[in-house]
Amino acid sequence: MRSYSLIAPAKINLYLEILGDRPDGFHALVMVMQSVDLADRLEVRANGTEAIRVHCDHPQVPLDDSNLAYRAAELMRQQFPQAFARFGGVDIAIYKQIPIGAGLAGGSSNAAAVLVGLDLLWELGLTQSELQELGAVLGSDVPFSIVGGTALATGRGEKIDPLPDLEQGYVVLGKHRSLAVSTPWAYKTYRQQFSPSYLPQTDQQQRLHQVHSGPMIGAIAHRDLPQISQLLHNDLEKVVLPQYPQVRQLRETFREAGALGTMMSGSGPTVFALAEAWEQAKAVCQQVEQSLADPDLELWVAKFKPCGIQVAES
């Protein structure tokens, strides 16, 4: 049976600003996303049946239609019934490295890998834009996960504009194994507390242009990691850090360990720290590990990655 092996990288948010409400009930966002080489691997294999079957080496990952990877395959079956009739069902094996429930888009990246894998397996010849349109049906982070690299994400996060790649940066990621933060809770709480400051929809486009021509995008254009580190911003920290003291403490410990900059990624609970060299990142990682001495804390050192889903070399 034919198969493809794909690499599905995690992402961090270097910038996340909530502009206000959208007519569809989502938040209007402007974000700068960055892929990192902490990645899952997926095998997408024709199985000779009409079934979609998901397998995973992590016991907490669901294997039914609540799994985005499953839903990605189901979407492709619905959108391309002739290809499904010709090639049949698939087995999707997920080998996890990205922590679950971490705010690192692990589920979205898995779904993106399934879209890319089935495009190849079923010989559809879809363009990247077409794959991103399909991804947007599944979730706001899926379109970015397909293309990856460094990008500006707007709308509800599904509109992607590539930025100059930041290939030289390193990142230390930290997450408490037992801690999870609900993304819907974070956005709902932010709306409850800060909606009086939301921009009217007529002003949101102007603010988007200001960010696009602002200091963060300029620092990325110049690949100035120290300046980028000083400009890290995440509106959701305003609600998550007061509610989750472990996240706040981890962020402070990264800062004290000498990181260039540190911030919570997405809705958390993962916190990241930036470094210009592997040695610096490793030193920060070791100091945080020693300072907190918490067996529940997991730490990783990763490198910025200039792309999203890739076919793995055989």
Any idea which residues carry the catalytic annotation? 11, 141
Residue whose tokens read 């003291």 = 245
Dihedrals φ, ψ of 191, to 5°?
A: -60, -40
Neighbours of 45 (CB within 10 A): 18
Give the DSSP H/E element, type plus range, for residue 76: helix 68-79
User: How far apart (Å, rounded) are the C-alpha atoms in residues 64 and 182?
Assistant: 20
Nearest by Cα to 133 from 119, 149, 152: 119
User: How far apart (Å, rounded) are the C-alpha atoms in residues 93 and 86?
Assistant: 22
What contacts 24+ positions apart, CB below 8 Å, involve 119-122?
119/76, 120/4, 120/311, 121/2, 121/3, 121/4, 121/44, 121/46, 121/87, 121/90, 122/76, 122/80, 122/83, 122/84, 122/86, 122/87
Contact yes or no for 39/97 (Cβ under 8 A): yes
Strand extents, DSSP E, the chain: 3-21, 27-46, 52-56, 90-95, 150-154, 159-162, 170-176, 233-234, 261-264, 271-275, 297-303, 310-311
User: How far apart (Å, rounded) are the C-alpha atoms in residues 119 and 22?
Assistant: 32
280 CB contacts (<8 Å, ≥6 apart)?
A: 170, 258
